[in-house]
Amino acid sequence: MRALKHLNAYFIRYKWMLLLGILFITISNYFGVRAPELIRYTFIDIEKWISQGAEPGVDRNYIISQALTAALVYAGIYMLYALLKGLFLFFTRQTIIVMSRHIEFDLKNEIYAQYQKLSLSFYRRNNTGDLMNRISEDVSRVRMYIGPAVMYITNLAVLFVLVIYQMLAINPELTFYVLLPLPVMAFLVYTVSKRINKKSEEVQAQQSILTTHAQEAFSGIRVIKTFAREDSIHNDFIKESKLYRSKVLSLVRTDALFAPVITLLIGLSTILTVYIGCLKAFDGEVKVGVIAEFVIYVNMLTWPFATVGWVSSLIQRAAASQERINEFLHIEPEIVNHNHNEMTIEGHLQFRNVSFTYPDSGIKALRAIDLEVKPGQTLAIIGKTGSGKSTLASLICRLYEATDGEVLLDKQDIRSANLDILRSSIGYVPQDVFLFSDTIANNIAFGLKQGSASQDKIVQSAKDACIHDNITGFKDGYETLVGERGITLSGGQKQRVSIARAIIREPRILIFDDCLSAVDTETEDQILKNLRRIMAGRTSVIISHRVSTVRHADKIIVLQQGSIIEQGSHQELIDKKGYYFDLHRKQLLESQKIG
């Protein structure tokens, strides 16, 4: 329950809505409790008319019409009360439920903002499904507490006080007997609700298994079809579906028990009221009308009471959800911007004895790296998969921080630079290309601030990335949709769109992480030629496993298992006749074979 404390700040923010809501609930219940009183008065009045009508020599028709008029007047007032009750109930919902929607909105945005602050290692530790659940499902469950649960509890409390007060004022003894079944009911309701909750949790869990199963089957449809495994996959689905059905049916059975139990207990209470009420009426202790009034009160109380079990489960669930949410909200972002001043970045990069170990896997990806790139120079990194090339690039973007040693930008510790300016001065083409489900033009324009990319610029960077001809070949040109509902680009095309996105920024520092791996050598040559023009005057880092990509760089470093094993210019490395030389020879031979 402590987890829910986090929400108190929100209740304070919306205190006026909340207080108004509570006021409206009170007014609504006030009219609700007043109405049955009218029934008593009607009875008393009609009794009076009947006894007058029994006297000899009276005009019976006159009496009847009088009685009817009285009844109609009471009925009218009763209707008015019911209307007022309903009206204020409407206002209650308009305040408390609306408040809960506002808080839901705020909470979602609080979580979203926190997500964006958290570092990449957080995203590696938690899967996407988990992140999504906390911002959607968990928040919805919390909202059920903020809205409905708060409303029902307030309603029950107000109603209880008003009804009990009213009943005690009329006849304490009768009140005692009438309320006798209530504890029994509370206990039964609680037990049945608990079972229902347990079963609905099971249903939910099974449903999520089913969804995951279906999701995976659809995204892996290509593999399933080519391996001709449709039947076995379908059988798995049937198995899970059957389990789901049996769980739902079991839930429905328990659910079906609920209403009859309540109705039975209401019936019991009503019988008690009528029986004891009649005994007291015979004794002249209460008026007959009181019996009718009490029957209505008992009915009024029971339904809110019956929801206690449900409401308490709402709160429990909300608490569990909020605890999950808090777990994320209370994580301190590892990488924080400490500098909010304006600054210009020259692009001088230096690594001083930098080592890096991935926090979650414990893999030592970089060992004692020393290197320097002067502004405008090109650094190339070559090495096998897993040698630490991408890790080095992430450190430049400050996506991770060095475990040991220091990364310097313009001769200052990179941690002291303004992070926003640092990242916006970098044009980064990641190894695993990601394109948004949007038009190609927008994917390229993503490199610039929203709305600041002109069509000319987009086209120019597409031309430089050698993707322009492909794009104009599509029916919709630059407006072609890519991703989920659009066309599927080839790996090389995606890489080139991603390059265009980076160079449109005209950044101080360019980082190309193995971004030509899926491009044929001829196009690669063309792109490299264009890039050399673009890279002039900018610090660039080119990562590749192909010698042809890196040969023109000012400096080449060869990484192996996180350490630099060779460095120098292309010619120097060739002369060394070491690893680089071998690699060069091997790749030359291969290309000649293909040629």
Q: Which residues in this chain contact Mg ion in the complex, by CB under 5 A?
A: 389-390, 431
Can you tell me which of 116, 341, 385, 488 binds ligand ADP, judged by CB under 6 A?
385
Locus of tokens 């995606």: 494
Rounded to 5 degrees, φ, ψ at 508 are: -70, -35
Q: Exposure of 255 by Cβ count < 10 A (0-12 exposed, 13-18 middle, 19+ buried)?
A: middle
Can you tell me which of 65, 235, 263, 361 binds ligand ADP, judged by CB under 6 A?
361
Query: Of ligand ADP, Mg ion, none, which one sits near residue 124, judging by CB under 5 to 8 A according to partner kind?
Result: ligand ADP
Residues with Cβ within 8 Å of 190's Cβ and at least 6 positions away in sequence, in order, are 308, 309, 312
The interface region with ligand ADP, picked from 71-79, 177-185, 264-272, 355-363 by CB under 6 A, is 355-363
Tell me how far apart the alpha carbons of residues 474 and 460 are, in angstroms, rounded to a whole number.
17
Smallest distance from the beta carbon of 126 to ligand ADP, in angstroms? 13
Smallest distance from the beta carbon of 513 to Mg ion, in angstroms? 6
Smallest distance from the beta carbon of 379 to ligand ADP, in angstroms? 15
Query: Of ligand ADP, Mg ion, none, which one sits near residue 277, judging by CB under 5 to 8 A according to partner kind?
Result: none
Residues with Cβ within 8 Å of 523's Cβ and at least 6 positions away in sequence, in order, are 466, 492, 496
Locus of tokens 């008026």: 287
Tell me how far apart the alpha carbons of residues 397 and 391 are, in angstroms, rounded to a whole number.
10
Tell me how far apart the alpha carbons of residues 286 and 169 are, in angstroms, rounded to a whole number.
12
Rounded to 5 degrees, φ, ψ at 527 are: -60, -45
The footprint of ligand ADP on residues 105-134 (CB under 6 A) is: 124
Q: C-alpha angle 522/523/529, rounded to 5°?
A: 95
Tell me how far apart the alpha carbons of residues 547 and 566 are, in angstroms, rounded to a whole number.
14
Is residue 96 within 8 A of residue 19, CB to CB? The reply is no
Can you tell me which of 387, 425, 461, 539 binds ligand ADP, judged by CB under 6 A?
387
| Binding of ligand ADP by 390 (CB under 6 A) | yes
Of 197 and 544, which CB lies nearer to Mg ion in the complex structure? Answer: 544
Query: Of ligand ADP, Mg ion, none, which one sits near residue 363, judging by CB under 5 to 8 A according to partner kind?
Result: ligand ADP
3-state secondary structure of 567: strand
Q: What is the dihedral of CA 433, 398, 131, 147, to 10 degrees?
A: -130
The interface region with ligand ADP, picked from 30-38, 95-103, 232-240, 360-368 by CB under 6 A, is 360-368
| Binding of ligand ADP by 32 (CB under 6 A) | no
Can you tell me which of 27, 162, 365, 414 binds ligand ADP, judged by CB under 6 A?
365
Of 360 and 420, which CB lies nearer to ligand ADP in the complex structure? Answer: 360
Query: Of Mg ion, ligand ADP, none, which one sits near residue 495, judging by CB under 5 to 8 A according to partner kind?
Result: none
The interface region with ligand ADP, picked from 172-180, 386-394, 476-484, 584-592 by CB under 6 A, is 386-394
Q: How many residues bind ligand ADP (CB under 6 A)?
A: 14
The interface region with ligand ADP, picked from 85-93, 293-301, 318-326, 353-361 by CB under 6 A, is 353-361
Query: Of Mg ion, ligand ADP, none, which one sits near residue 391, judging by CB under 5 to 8 A according to partner kind?
Result: ligand ADP
Residue 342: count of CB within 10 angstroms of its CB: 7
Closest alpha carbon to 300 in 393, 182, 387, 476: 182
Can you tell me which of 53, 375, 376, 386 binds ligand ADP, judged by CB under 6 A?
386
The interface region with ligand ADP, picked from 107-115, 339-347, 380-388, 534-542 by CB under 6 A, is 380-388
Rounded to 5 degrees, φ, ψ at 561 are: 45, 40
DSSP one-letter string for 391-404: HHHHHHTTSS--SE
Of 366 and 422, which CB lies nearer to ligand ADP in the complex structure? Answer: 366
Of 124 and 586, which CB lies nearer to ligand ADP in the complex structure? Answer: 124
Closest alpha carbon to 371 in 412, 413, 408: 408
The interface region with ligand ADP, picked from 32-40, 378-386, 401-409, 572-580 by CB under 6 A, is 378-386
Of 387 and 540, which CB lies nearer to ligand ADP in the complex structure? Answer: 387
Q: Name the residue with the smallest CB distance to Mg ion.
A: 390
Tell me how far apart the alpha carbons of residues 497 and 444 are, in angstroms, rounded to a whole number.
6
Tell me how far apart the alpha carbons of residues 543 and 379 are, in angstroms, rounded to a whole number.
9
Of 375 and 405, which CB lies nearer to ligand ADP in the complex structure? Answer: 405
Can you tell me which of 388, 427, 430, 507 binds ligand ADP, judged by CB under 6 A?
388
Of 95 and 390, which CB lies nearer to ligand ADP in the complex structure? Answer: 390
Tell me how far apart the alpha carbons of residues 393 and 325 are, in angstroms, rounded to a whole number.
32
Query: Of ligand ADP, Mg ion, none, which one sits near residue 365, judging by CB under 5 to 8 A according to partner kind?
Result: ligand ADP
Of 254 and 431, which CB lies nearer to Mg ion in the complex structure? Answer: 431
Is residue 241 within 8 A of residue 261, CB to CB? The reply is no
Burial 454-487 (b: 16+ CB within 10 A, else e): eeebbbebbebbbbbebbeebeeebebbbeeebe
Amino acid at 233: I
| Binding of ligand ADP by 383 (CB under 6 A) | yes
Contact residues toward ligand ADP (CB under 6 A) are 124, 358, 360-361, 363, 365, 383, 385-391
